[in-house]
Chain A
Amino acid sequence: MIPAQELRKYDIFLDLEPNELAALAKIADVVHASEGETIINEGQPARTFYVMDQGNLMVAFKDGRALTLHGHGEVVGWSAIIHPTHYAGDVICLTDCSFISFPGSEMLRLIQSNVAMGTKIMRMVSERVANRIPFLAEAVRRRLKGGR
């Protein structure tokens, strides 16, 4: 659990009400990872959603394409809150990183039980992910429609 005010620092939670932030804070945790560490493996069941606090990382896909994410507020592991719940790529820390982590099943339960909160979070997550680079936009659209 982390203080609810901590979550206010992240863009994707800016629109949330205080009670919604408090509910999310209850399931959140702080995670640290070292340079070179793989925090997400492609194809594994997606059990954790991460919001990056600091650091730099690479998201690598099976076909060798990749993107790098740098610094505060980036999200990874979004497959944990979007079906089908398997990670779509490897996530490797390029430097020491710290994250706020959320158990996917509990976050999904919160999203499903509070439609308003779920809509806000899903909108922010999909905007962030889809706008990263064009080759991901098509993949995001496919997954949101329910395909792989």
Chain B
Amino acid sequence: MGGFSAINAASGWLIAALGISIVFFGLASLAFIITLFPHVFDRLNGQTPKSIVITLRDRFYPVKKPPAPATPVAEERLEEKDPDEAEESLRLLTAHLGEPFKLPRLLMLAEHRLARPHSTICRLILSGKILGEPDGLFRWAKGDEEESSP
């Protein structure tokens, strides 16, 4: 017995199909993983190793927070009551990012920590506490730089 008969007798076609499938799915999985690289690099771009660790920790092991208020209105009140706390949270985040920092990056990080990150950052910009640099980056105002408007 030889040739195709031998292949048939030893289930060669089935084994060949199985091998092709394994290689195909292996390559497809690899291709999918490679397509995710740009997103991963975008997220990691400009971060220090320490801030990467903090971001990953917050994502997979979030710090337990006190129960959130039941309604968005209550949430808004909570933040308005304590704007200093929101500012302090942002200062901590920028301490990891370094100065000057990228505002979109700060906004993305703040979304995990503040109820209303957009309006909070806007308030700090309008009050002159966060200043825009000519190169499109941002920094905290030093004591004598704070103004009533940007």
Question: Which A residues lie at the B interface, using CB under 8 A?
Answer: 35-36, 56, 58, 60-61, 64-68, 70, 90, 92-95, 133-136
Contact = CB atoms under 8 A, between A and B. Distances in A.
Chain B residues touching A, range = 20 to 34
- Give the one of A64, A67, A95 with max B CB within 10 A: A64
B107 interface: yes
A21 to B, nearest CB: 31
A136 B107 CA distance: 21
15 contacts: A60-B103, A60-B104, A64-B45, A64-B102, A64-B137, A65-B135, A66-B138, A68-B132, A70-B125, A90-B104, A94-B119, A94-B121, A95-B118, A95-B122, A134-B134
A67 B132 contact: yes
Interface of B: 45-46, 102-105, 107, 116-119, 121-122, 125-126, 132, 134-138, 150
Contact of A68 (B45, B137, B150): B150
B104 A66 contact: yes
Contacts of A95: 118-119, 122
